[in-house]
Chains A and B, each alone.
Chain A
């Protein structure tokens, strides 16, 4: 995008500058006498003037004074000139070169300025009539460079155009950079901020600018500063809550232990107190996990995670726990797949779903886990399906089971012992990894929860792990 703005500014200004230059050139050419003609006219007049002067000098002082005049002319302009009479012979009687003879003859016949040029020099001739009616021809030999300066108008135009193109390009490049640079800096900073780096600031990248971009940069920095402050205090608050709520719970647990050390205690009541304390503790733990997930405060690791390995570990542990309740956890289909993400978070997501299934499956049945590769819409993925053999969930309740503290039925959930945040945590975690979670009832009874995760491909995109909640 930035390259877009840069290119656009560069091209727009460049093209418009070039257009202005071309238009100006065309207008000047169209509204004034063509340059060549003016030069022509000038050199004609000049040549005629020199010729007349030479003729006058010839009249007054003869050939020697003409020679002096020509020596002086060559001195001043580098043009060598000779004066010929109507018979095409030099007035002083000196011999002539063949070119001069030819051009002079032509000039006498046409009455115009005639010219002949080779690589080095140009020879011009102009006939004039003296006051006594005799005709003379002035033949001037000049270096070609002089003429080229006067006559090479088309290439001069090209040169001018090139000069405009170049200077315009340099100026426009500078302008485009001047505008696009702060934009690029701001954009990079915004991107980093979105990725969770709240310490990013743009002021150092703005240099000594004092324009609107610099103002925008300052505002951005102020915003980042405030975000960082809020985030830091939120993290501190989370940590404080965790500490402060757990301290009384820790004391309660130890006090409970003390009560149990004395044989007089009512052990049934103590069991109940312990169970409730455990539940409260689990609830605090899950609330904190959820809060961390939502605020994105947890610096998520990005590593290649073997899904099957995680599922195996969770299944083995959950199976061990479920055995006590005459329930089991089995993996019925196992496909190898890896995803990119945070292994601990993904493990807890799978664990929450599996534990939920263990809680709800009927005694004597098994929770079935299927790990399967997906090829939806060409994007490879992996699906983890966890199916229980319980009563399922009423159809109208299905969309809500991932919401915090949602209970399908008060009595059932309470006896099952969940605190109502496990599935929510699983849902948020999977979303954080770019996946989806859905739940549905199985026709022959029970609930199936499907976790779909984008699989890691050969060339893995190093996309940031940012929550889009």
Chain B
């Protein structure tokens, strides 16, 4: 594997220079992009393994950009939000961002997040020969672990990579509680920070996509402050 190329969409040129310098020393190649319309083309071009996207771009909404990227591409997106702006964070995750980091960030943390996302997506993107042709199913939900697709009652359900991994983890332990930090480690590739609600957002989105159980009732039950359980 060559140098990992990362696209940074941020209007702050000086910041991009600093981050570029930092990432180069960590073994990444970083291209900055300040223009929103160009950013969309470049992010979906396939030249980059990951896009870091600041949602507070002047002129163009980072969320629109994210929506545009997700319309055609599954390229991993790490979102930069203003600290304490829970709404931005939740909206971003709901639109399909893989993870978020609040700005100002510690560059060490940025590198750790990028590595976690890449680890995750690279396991998913292994060649077809190496894939395990395993199926996982319960009630009306069927997971194809090889193709990473989900069907509910025969109909395909579009899940993001994080949501798919969450569902896989919950289904494997169906009937038992999976702790939130286990889910975070498995699906986000990192430990949960204190006051971090990203797992809850992903689970609630997964719930919405899957709908209720065939007999009615919650598919995934919440155990407050502990974790989640797929109901058997």
Residues of A at the B interface (CB closer than 8 Å) are 239, 242-243, 246-247, 249-258, 260-261, 274, 277, 281-282, 285-286, 288-289, 306, 309, 312-314, 316-318, 320-321, 344, 351
Q: Which residues from B are CB-within-8-Å of A316?
A: 225
| B125 close to chain A: CB less than 8 A | no
Cross-chain contact of B195 among A249, A252, A255, A317 (Cβ < 8 A)? A317
Contact B225 A251 (CB under 8 A): no
Q: Using a Cβ cutoff of 8 Å, how many contacts connect chains A and B? A: 73
- 9 further contact pairs, Cβ within 8 A, besides A250-B105, A277-B104: A242-B56, A243-B56, A253-B104, A254-B107, A258-B18, A258-B21, A261-B25, A312-B225, A317-B194
Q: How many residues of B contact A (CB 8 A)?
A: 24
Q: Which residues from A are CB-within-8-Å of B12?
A: 247, 250-251
Contact B15 A288 (CB under 8 A): no
Residues of B at the A interface (CB closer than 8 Å) are 12, 14-15, 18-19, 21-22, 25, 56, 58, 82-84, 86, 103-108, 194-195, 224-225
Contact B108 A251 (CB under 8 A): no
Contact A247 B225 (CB under 8 A): no
A288 nearest in chain B by CB position: B84
4 shortest interchain CB distances as A-B pairs = A257-B107, A250-B104, A285-B84, A317-B194
Contact B194 A318 (CB under 8 A): yes
Instruction: Pick 20 A–B contacts, CB within 8 A, sort by A.
Output: A242-B56, A243-B58, A246-B103, A246-B104, A249-B104, A250-B105, A252-B104, A254-B15, A254-B18, A254-B19, A254-B22, A257-B108, A285-B83, A285-B84, A288-B82, A312-B224, A313-B224, A313-B225, A316-B225, A320-B194
Separation of A26 and B84 alpha carbons in the complex (Å): 80
Q: Which residues from A are CB-within-8-Å of B15?
A: 247, 250-251, 254
Contact A289 B84 (CB under 8 A): yes
Q: Which residues from A are CB-within-8-Å of B14?
A: 251
Cross-chain contact of B82 among A242, A254, A313, A318 (Cβ < 8 A)? A242
Whether A281 contacts B104 in the complex (CB less than 8 A), given A288-B84, A309-B225, A312-B225, comes out as yes
A258 nearest in chain B by CB position: B22
Separation of A351 and B83 alpha carbons in the complex (Å): 16
Separation of A249 and B83 alpha carbons in the complex (Å): 12
Cross-chain contact of B107 among A247, A258, A351 (Cβ < 8 A)? A258
Q: Which residues from B are CB-within-8-Å of A289?
A: 84
| Distance from B148 Cβ to chain A, minimum over Cβ atoms (Å) | 31
Q: Which residues from A are CB-within-8-Å of B83?
A: 246, 281-282, 285
